[in-house]
Amino acid sequence: MTLNPSKTLIFATGIDRFSATEIGEAFIRSDTSINDIYYSIPHYGMNAEGKSIAWHDNYLYVAGNSYSQSEGKKLFVARRTEFGNEIFTKYLDENSPSGMTSNSGVTGGKGNNFYVAGNTYDSTSGNNITTLKYSFPYFRLTTQYSLEGPQSAFPIGFQDTVKVYLRSAAPPYNLVDSSKGVNEYSSFLEFMYVYSYFNNVTASGSYYVVLKHRNSIETWSRQPKQLFNAVIPSYAFNDSASKAYGNNQKLLTTNPFPLYGIYSGDVNQDGGIDLTDVTLIYNSANNFVTGYVAADVTCNNSVDLTDITIAYNNSVGFVSTKRP
């Protein structure tokens, strides 16, 4: 159990049973008037038990045990808002192959560090007292999007590096934070998504989301949004052209539902797709260039007529970055 700094709220964690076979983390929030909020929080694919909770830096940190048949026992640590919304959850087995067994404690440290301590057990050294220091990513954002070039080649399992920038809501729209990651690919829904981690943002702040890819047009979100007060912070570009500033996306398909994508072909990353980009791609195709190169607009490791056509069509349409 823990209190907020003003001692007006009480928080507790524990264990709750969803069914005969499913066990999840319990979360309780109670104020001085005994107005209670109770959540049963599932850890999908795993059973979980909250064992300790602490208030630090205006957030709650929860530590406990988790278990699944595929991954065995692990310690979990979670950062939550006062209403139980997840900021980040991490499953760890460092220094604790069998998880915390009892008397676990969690406390915040300087910056984004916190510490977990408790009894652990493993077959080699038996019972131990373990202290674990962990540097917690402040916020995680899931960004969904599609790319015109790769999408045209139906790249099941396609992965590439993308950068996500967060910019302030007011002019001159200064850069607040940035993150680079490798996307995942939804083969069923045929879109891409990337997990990004940010240290310099707040739950109450509103930000433009800016997406950059090595040969695509830099694309801004339609408007600034309060991203990090959600249970699962996310932003989806690909379900509507209007999700991009100035409707700056292309309709890629309507089957089985409309899917919008970021324009491809800005090979030299100057913010516009023009004759210079088309020429760079043409020269690479003429020289039968292969591999991981910017001129490969479809990202299939070969520069050819398809890449030239995509860039040419976008240059005729005067496609360029649109931003506030």
Mean pLDDT rounded to a whole number for the chain: 85
- pLDDT exceeds cutoff 50 at 97: no
Per-residue pLDDT band at 122 (split at 50, 70, 90): low
3-state DSSP call for residue 195?
A: strand
pLDDT of residue 324: 96
pLDDT of residue 170: 96
Beta bridge partners of 189: none
pLDDT of residue 95: 46
Summarize pLDDT for 197-237 with one digit per residue, the tens: 888 998 789 999 999 999 999 999 999 999 987 766 889 99
Range of weakest confidence among 172-176, 199-203, 271-275? 199-203
- Segment 8-22 shows an average pLDDT of 84
pLDDT of residue 77: 85
Range of weakest confidence among 4-13, 189-198, 266-275? 189-198
Axis-axis angle for helices 305-316, 275-286 (nearest 10): 170
- Segment 20-26 shows an average pLDDT of 82
Q: Which two tokens stand for residue 88?
A: 């980040």
User: Considering the entire predicted model, what is its pTM?
Assistant: 0.65
Phi, psi of 210 (to 5 degrees): -120, 125
pLDDT of residue 154: 63
- Residue 92 vs residue 306, higher pLDDT: 306
**What size, in residues, is the chain?**
324
- pLDDT exceeds cutoff 70 at 62: yes
CATH architecture of 139-316: Sandwich (2.60)
Residue intervals of the chain classified under CATH 2.115.10.20 are 2-135
Residue intervals of the chain classified under CATH 2.60.40 are 139-316
In this structure, which topology does domain 2-135 adopt according to CATH?
Answer: Tachylectin-2; Chain A (2.115.10)
pLDDT of residue 166: 98
pLDDT of residue 152: 80
pLDDT of residue 72: 77
- pLDDT exceeds cutoff 60 at 102: no
- Residue 232 vs residue 178, higher pLDDT: 178
Number of Cβ within 10 Å of residue 15's Cβ equals 16
Is-contact 170 164, C-beta < 8 A? no
pLDDT of residue 40: 81
Preceding peptide of 324 cis, ω within 30°: no
* Per-residue H/E/C for 222-261: CCCEECCCCCCCEEECCCCHHHEHHHCCEEEECCCCCEEE
- Segment 78-85 shows an average pLDDT of 85
